A and B are shown apart, each in its own frame.
Chain A
Amino acid sequence: MLSAESLKKIDRELAKYPADQKQSAVMPALIIAQDEKGWLATETMNFVAQYLGMAPVAVYEVATFYNMYNLEPVGRNKISICTCLPCGLQGSLDAAEHLKARLGIDFNQTTADGKFTLKEGECMGACAMAPVVVVNDKKMYDYLSNAKIDALIDALSDQLGSR
Chain B
Amino acid sequence: MLKIEIDGRQLEVPVGSTVMDATNQLGIYVPHFCYHRKLSIAANCRMCLVEVEKAPKPLPACATPVTDGMKVKTFSPVAKQAQNGVMEFLLINHPLDCPICDQGGECQLQDLAVGYGKGASRYQEEKRVVLAKDIGPLVAAEEMSRCIQCTRCVRFGQEIAGVMELGMVGRGEHAEIVAFVGKTVDSELSGNMIDLCPVGALTSKPFRYSARTWELARRKSVSPHDGLGSNLVVQVNQNRVMRVLPLENEAINECWLSDKDRFSYEGLNSPERLTQPMLKRAGQWEAVDWQVALEFVTGELRRIEAAHGGSAIGALATPHSTLEELSLLGRLARGLGSENVDFRLRQADFSADGKLAGAPWLGMPIAALSKLDRVLVIGAFLRKDHPLIAQRLRQIAKRRAQINILHSADDDLLMQIANRLIVPPLEIPVALASIRAGASGPAAAILESLKSGENKAILLGNFAQQHPQAVQIHALAQALAEATGATLGFLGEAANSVGGYLANCLPYGTQSSGGLNARSMLEQPRKAYVLLNAELELDCADPRAALGAMRGAELVVALSAFNHGAREYANVLLPIAPFTETAGTFVSTEGGVQSFHGCVRPAGEARPGWKVLRVLGSMLGLAGFGEESAEQVRDSCLAGKDVSAQLSNRAAVPIEGTAAAPKTAGGGLQRVADVPIYFADALVRRAPGLQQTKDAQPPRAGMNAKTLAALGISAGQPVRVRQGEGSVRLVAALDPGLPDQCVRVAAAHASTAGLGAMFSTLSVETLPVEQAA
Q: How far is the CB of A58 from chain B (nearest CB, A)?
A: 6
Cβ-defined partner of B164 (8 Å) among A45, A58, A122? A58
Cβ-defined partner of A61 (8 Å) among B165, B168, B181, B182? B168
Give residues of chain B (154-200) contacting chain A, Cβ–Cβ below 8 Å.
158, 163-171, 178-183
Cβ-defined partner of A56 (8 Å) among B158, B168, B171, B183? B183
Q: How far is the CB of A47 from chain B (nearest CB, A)?
A: 13
Q: How far is the CB of B175 from chain A (nearest CB, A)?
A: 9
Are A60 and B181 also in contact (CB < 8 A) when A55-B163, A55-B164, A55-B165 are?
yes
Q: Are A60 and B170 in contact, CB atoms less than 8 angstroms apart?
A: no
Return chain A residues, CB-CB under 8 Å to B170. Answer: 64-65
Give residues of chain B (251-306) contacting chain A, Cβ–Cβ below 8 Å.
none
Q: Are A65 and B169 in contact, CB atoms less than 8 angstroms apart?
A: yes
Q: Are B171 and A65 in contact, CB atoms less than 8 angstroms apart?
A: yes
Question: What is the total of A-B residue contacts with beta carbons within 8 Å?
Answer: 39
1/0 per residue, CB under 8 A from B, across A57-78: the answer is: 1101100110000000000000
A42 within 8 A of B: yes
Of all chain B residues, the one with the shortest Cβ separation from A59 is B180
Return chain B residues, CB-CB under 8 Å to A64. Answer: 169-171
* In the bound complex, CA of A42 to CA of B169 (Å): 14
Chain A interface, >50% SS class: helix
Return chain A residues, CB-CB under 8 Å to B183. Answer: 56-57
Q: Are B171 and A57 in contact, CB atoms less than 8 angstroms apart?
A: no
Q: Are B169 and A61 in contact, CB atoms less than 8 angstroms apart?
A: yes
* In the bound complex, CA of A131 to CA of B168 (Å): 30
Give residues of chain B (106-139) contacting chain A, Cβ–Cβ below 8 Å.
none
1/0 per residue, CB under 8 A from A, across B664-686: the answer is: 00000000000000000000000
Return chain A residues, CB-CB under 8 Å to B164. Answer: 55, 57-58
Return chain B residues, CB-CB under 8 Å to A122. Answer: 171
Of all chain B residues, the one with the shortest Cβ separation from A55 is B164
1/0 per residue, CB under 8 A from B, across A20-62: the answer is: 0000000000000000000000100110000000011110110
* In the bound complex, CA of A16 to CA of B720 (Å): 51
Return chain A residues, CB-CB under 8 Å to B179. Answer: 57
Q: Are A60 and B182 in contact, CB atoms less than 8 angstroms apart?
A: no
* In the bound complex, CA of A73 to CA of B164 (Å): 27
Q: Are B167 and A42 in contact, CB atoms less than 8 angstroms apart?
A: no
Q: How far is the CB of B665 from chain A (nearest CB, A)?
A: 36
Q: Are B165 and A57 in contact, CB atoms less than 8 angstroms apart?
A: yes
Looking at B158, B171, B179, B181, which has the most chain A CB atoms within 10 Å of its CB? B181
How many residues of chain B have a CB within 8 Å of chain A?
16
* In the bound complex, CA of A4 to CA of B197 (Å): 44
Q: How far is the CB of A67 from chain B (nearest CB, A)?
A: 9
Cβ-defined partner of A42 (8 Å) among B158, B163, B182? B182
Q: How far is the CB of A139 from chain B (nearest CB, A)?
A: 23
Q: How far is the CB of B157 from chain A (nearest CB, A)?
A: 8
Give residues of chain B (339-396) contacting chain A, Cβ–Cβ below 8 Å.
none
Give residues of chain B (525-583) contacting chain A, Cβ–Cβ below 8 Å.
none
* In the bound complex, CA of A55 to CA of B158 (Å): 9
Q: Are A60 and B167 in contact, CB atoms less than 8 angstroms apart?
A: yes
Return chain B residues, CB-CB under 8 Å to A60. Answer: 167, 169, 178, 180-181
Q: How far is the CB of B484 from chain A (nearest CB, A)?
A: 27
Are A58 and B167 also in contact (CB < 8 A) when A42-B181, A42-B182 are?
yes
Q: Are B178 and A57 in contact, CB atoms less than 8 angstroms apart?
A: yes
Q: Are B182 and A57 in contact, CB atoms less than 8 angstroms apart?
A: no
Return chain B residues, CB-CB under 8 Å to A61. Answer: 167-169
Looking at A42, A45, A56, A61, which has the most chain B CB atoms within 10 Å of its CB? A61
* In the bound complex, CA of A64 to CA of B181 (Å): 12
Return chain B residues, CB-CB under 8 Å to A58. Answer: 164, 167
Q: How far is the CB of B144 from chain A (nearest CB, A)?
A: 15
Return chain A residues, CB-CB under 8 Å to B168. Answer: 61
Looking at B180, B182, B183, which has the most chain A CB atoms within 10 Å of its CB? B180
Of all chain B residues, the one with the shortest Cβ separation from A54 is B164
Q: How far is the CB of B208 from chain A (nearest CB, A)?
A: 24
Return chain B residues, CB-CB under 8 Å to A57. Answer: 164-167, 169, 178-180, 183
Q: Are A55 and B182 in contact, CB atoms less than 8 angstroms apart?
A: no
Of all chain A residues, the one with the shortest Cβ separation from B164 is A55
* In the bound complex, CA of A45 to CA of B164 (Å): 15
Of all chain A residues, the one with the shortest Cβ separation from B165 is A57
* In the bound complex, CA of A46 to CA of B179 (Å): 13
Return chain A residues, CB-CB under 8 Å to B163. Answer: 55
* In the bound complex, CA of A65 to CA of B179 (Å): 15
Return chain B residues, CB-CB under 8 Å to A45. Answer: 180
* In the bound complex, CA of A57 to CA of B178 (Å): 8
Q: How far is the CB of B161 from chain A (nearest CB, A)?
A: 11
Return chain B residues, CB-CB under 8 Å to A65. Answer: 169-171
Of all chain B residues, the one with the shortest Cβ separation from A46 is B180
Return chain B residues, CB-CB under 8 Å to A56. Answer: 180, 183
Of all chain B residues, the one with the shortest Cβ separation from A42 is B181
Of all chain B residues, the one with the shortest Cβ separation from A122 is B171
Q: How far is the CB of A21 from chain B (nearest CB, A)?
A: 14
* In the bound complex, CA of A60 to CA of B164 (Å): 11
Q: How far is the CB of A30 from chain B (nearest CB, A)?
A: 14
Q: How far is the CB of A96 from chain B (nearest CB, A)?
A: 18
* In the bound complex, CA of A57 to CA of B185 (Å): 11
Return chain B residues, CB-CB under 8 Å to A46. Answer: 180
Return chain A residues, CB-CB under 8 Å to B166. Answer: 57
Q: Are B167 and A55 in contact, CB atoms less than 8 angstroms apart?
A: yes
* In the bound complex, CA of A57 to CA of B133 (Å): 14
Return chain A residues, CB-CB under 8 Å to B158. Answer: 55
Of all chain A residues, the one with the shortest Cβ separation from B182 is A42
* In the bound complex, CA of A42 to CA of B179 (Å): 12
* In the bound complex, CA of A46 to CA of B165 (Å): 13
Of all chain A residues, the one with the shortest Cβ separation from B171 is A65
* In the bound complex, CA of A58 to CA of B168 (Å): 8
Q: How far is the CB of A145 from chain B (nearest CB, A)?
A: 29
Q: How far is the CB of B400 from chain A (nearest CB, A)?
A: 12
* In the bound complex, CA of A25 to CA of B98 (Å): 43
Q: How far is the CB of B555 from chain A (nearest CB, A)?
A: 56
Return chain B residues, CB-CB under 8 Å to A42. Answer: 180-182
Q: How far is the CB of B23 from chain A (nearest CB, A)?
A: 31
Q: How far is the CB of B533 from chain A (nearest CB, A)?
A: 40
* In the bound complex, CA of A61 to CA of B154 (Å): 11
Return chain A residues, CB-CB under 8 Å to B178. Answer: 57, 60
* In the bound complex, CA of A55 to CA of B165 (Å): 7
Return chain A residues, CB-CB under 8 Å to B182. Answer: 42
Looking at B164, B165, B167, which has the most chain A CB atoms within 10 Å of its CB? B167
Q: How far is the CB of A146 from chain B (nearest CB, A)?
A: 29
Looking at A42, A57, A60, which has the most chain B CB atoms within 10 Å of its CB? A57
Of all chain A residues, the one with the shortest Cβ separation from B163 is A55
* In the bound complex, CA of A58 to CA of B151 (Å): 13
Q: How far is the CB of A57 from chain B (nearest CB, A)?
A: 4
Return chain A residues, CB-CB under 8 Å to B171. Answer: 64-65, 122
Q: How far is the CB of A155 from chain B (nearest CB, A)?
A: 32
* In the bound complex, CA of A64 to CA of B178 (Å): 11
* In the bound complex, CA of A56 to CA of B158 (Å): 12
* In the bound complex, CA of A56 to CA of B165 (Å): 8
1/0 per residue, CB under 8 A from B, across A69-97: the answer is: 00000000000000000000000000000
* In the bound complex, CA of A19 to CA of B158 (Å): 20
* In the bound complex, CA of A81 to CA of B180 (Å): 28
Give residues of chain B (579-614) contacting chain A, Cβ–Cβ below 8 Å.
none
Of all chain A residues, the one with the shortest Cβ separation from B181 is A42
1/0 per residue, CB under 8 A from A, across B686-727: the answer is: 000000000000000000000000000000000000000000
12 inter-chain pairs at a CB distance below 8 angstroms, sorted by A residue, are A55-B158, A55-B163, A55-B164, A56-B180, A57-B164, A57-B167, A57-B180, A57-B183, A61-B167, A64-B169, A65-B170, A122-B171
Given contact pairs A55-B167, A60-B167, A61-B167, enumerate 17 new A-B contacts (beta carbons under 8 Å).
A42-B180, A42-B181, A55-B158, A55-B163, A55-B164, A55-B165, A57-B164, A57-B178, A57-B179, A57-B180, A57-B183, A58-B164, A60-B169, A64-B169, A64-B170, A65-B170, A122-B171
Ranked nearest first, the 7 interchain pairs of A and B with the lowest CB-CB distance are: A55-B164, A57-B167, A64-B169, A57-B180, A56-B180, A61-B167, A42-B181
Interface residues of B (CB under 8 A from A): 158, 163-171, 178-183
